[in-house]
Structure 1
Amino acid sequence: MAPTDTQDDAPTSARDQNGDRILAVINYALLLVGISNGLTVLIAAILAYVRKDNADPLVQNHFQFQIRTFWYWLAMVIVGALTWIFLIGILILLIANIWLAIRSVVGLIRLVDGRPHSDPTGFWI
């Protein structure tokens, strides 16, 4: 009798779900690190775009939240950069980074608790 890999076949989907959940946690960490460098926010968005269609619904909700967080943050950074000369841009950039930190922490807490976002496409938390 040949050995079978039935044990490895069953946990594959569970491993994928856990992998996506871990990736969502890593994405939240990348968003937080992005406050200081900006590049990791882009990396988090790309990873979320790549994995969102294959993830389970809870993690898919968080990936959507991360993608929207990226786009809203990018819009605020662009406005802040364009208004930098008027000094209001400094305030806009500061608010954008505080907003990014709050959204990332709240999203991470909800993910760890196993809760989805009520409105992952909304601007507010």
Structure 2
Amino acid sequence: MADQEFIPADSDPVARRADSARNLAVVVYILQGLSFFLGGITGLVGVIINYVKMDDVAGTWIEPHFRWQIRTFWIGLLWTVIGIVTTAIIIGWFILLGISIWLIYRIVKGALALNDGKAP
């Protein structure tokens, strides 16, 4: 990522909010947040949106957000599965707590950066 050229968001906040790719990233952050309450299905919908629209955002300031969201989903899924499998030996509950905190952090950090027109 360090060798990629930085593409800043439009400095006008009104224009930035009208960007359809930005709005799509907002929707995915919301879907990721809702996945805590709806069994993860909205997180799956969000990552599908990321993959389907990735070519449309390639080279824009939104692309790092899509990559952040995809990475958040897959790492979260992996550790959630590990946590569920290991709940019988108690450590799984700690893994689930840890991954929940980590997911909330990633969603909030990404959404705040998106709002500021920055990469996460």
TM above 0.5, yes or no, is yes
Taking structure 2 as the reference length, the TM-score comes to: 0.79
Instruction: Supply the distance in 2 between the matched residues of 1:29 and 1:48 (Cα, whole angstroms).
Output: 13
**What residue number does 1:29 align with?**
30
- Structure 1 residue 111 and structure 2 residue 105: aligned? no
Task: Please state how far the C-alpha of 1:65 moved relative to its aligned partner.
Answer: 0.5
**What residue number does 2:65 align with?**
62
Q: Within 5 A, what are the aligned runs for 1:1-125? A: 18-36=19-37, 37-55=39-57, 57-117=60-120
Instruction: Supply the distance in 1 between the matched residues of 2:44 and 2:95 (Cα, whole angstroms).
Output: 19
Task: Please state how far the C-alpha of 1:31 moved relative to its aligned partner.
Answer: 0.8
Structure 1 stretches of 4+ moved >3 Å = none
Instruction: Supply the distance in 1 between the matched residues of 2:20 and 2:41 (Cα, whole angstroms).
Output: 23
Task: Please state how far the C-alpha of 1:113 moved relative to its aligned partner.
Answer: 0.4
5+ long unaligned stretches in structure 2: 1-14
Equivalenced residues, count: 102
Instruction: Supply the distance in 2 between the matched residues of 1:80 and 1:61 (Cα, whole angstroms).
Output: 28
Percent sequence identity is: 38
Contact residue 35 and residue 100 of structure 1 kept, 8 A? no
5+ long unaligned stretches in structure 1: 1-13, 118-125
Which structure shows the bigger proportion of residues in helix conformation? 1
Deviations 1:51-104 (A, max 9, x none): 111115211110011000001001101110110111111111111111111100
